[in-house]
Amino acid sequence: MNSDSAKKNLEHSSNEARAPVCIVTGGSLGIGFAVCKLFSENGYQVVNLDIRNFEQAVTNAIWKPCDVSVVSNIKTAIDEVMTAYQRIDALVCNAGIHVSATIEDTDEALLDKVLSLNVKGAYGAIKSCLPTMKKQGSGAIVVMGSDQSFVGKRNSFAYGVSKGALASIAKTTALDYAPYNIRVNAVCPGTIETPLFHNAIDNYVARSGAIKSDVVAEEAAAQPIGRLGQPEDVAELTYFLCSDKASFITGSLYAVDGGYTAQ
């Protein structure tokens, strides 16, 4: 689907009954896909901003091509969402990349790449949605942090920096916009079995010669609850934080990590 067809989908959808609208960045795979699916199942019109399309169709969800690492692209996409739907009820800043490297092994270009998607992507999406939410007098935002929003991990310099920044974004934005009834929280997943997880394991196996099944089993055993997390585990909490049931919750960080950071 190209950008023209995505725009037509938006225009067509604007004629439908006004369902609550949720924008998800990076919603085509893994956690983002589970988030899109759960919101759509609960009556939201979902708009997925991603460079790739859904691999599986999601009812009441459309894909809008967008490179979230470019702030001007995000603003254009969200302006079009607002034109089509006249409302934005929820924003989930999920787009991100993971790299494994120490600070010495992280050159400036790699650092810029990680921060542009993980941090500037959230900055651009939140900043573009806030004017609409302020006018509405309501809105819920969830940024996708990490267990590394709480703790450090080896060989994870740039990723850890980005996830620490997202935790701060959630707290400061929650304070700044509480007077407008806009809530902002961070969901902080631990080891979740997603395409991103398997890609990281595959890269490690290629470097080390380890057996993948053994590495996956070790990762599961490292979680106190004894298993890897699933995308749906994260999506459920994300949905709750955007619902009216969480109306008194803002500025908080929530670990979804099987007890990992409690150790």
Catalytic positions? 159
Asked if residues 228 and 152 have their Cβ atoms less than 8 Å apart, the reply is no
Asked if residues 234 and 256 have their Cβ atoms less than 8 Å apart, the reply is yes
DSSP 149: G
DSSP secondary structure string, 59-71? TTEEEEE--TTSH
CA distance linking residue 87 with residue 160, whole number of Å? 33
Closest CA to 37 of 18, 56, 10: 56
221 HSE (CA, 13 A, CB side): 6
CA distance linking residue 163 with residue 166, whole number of Å? 5
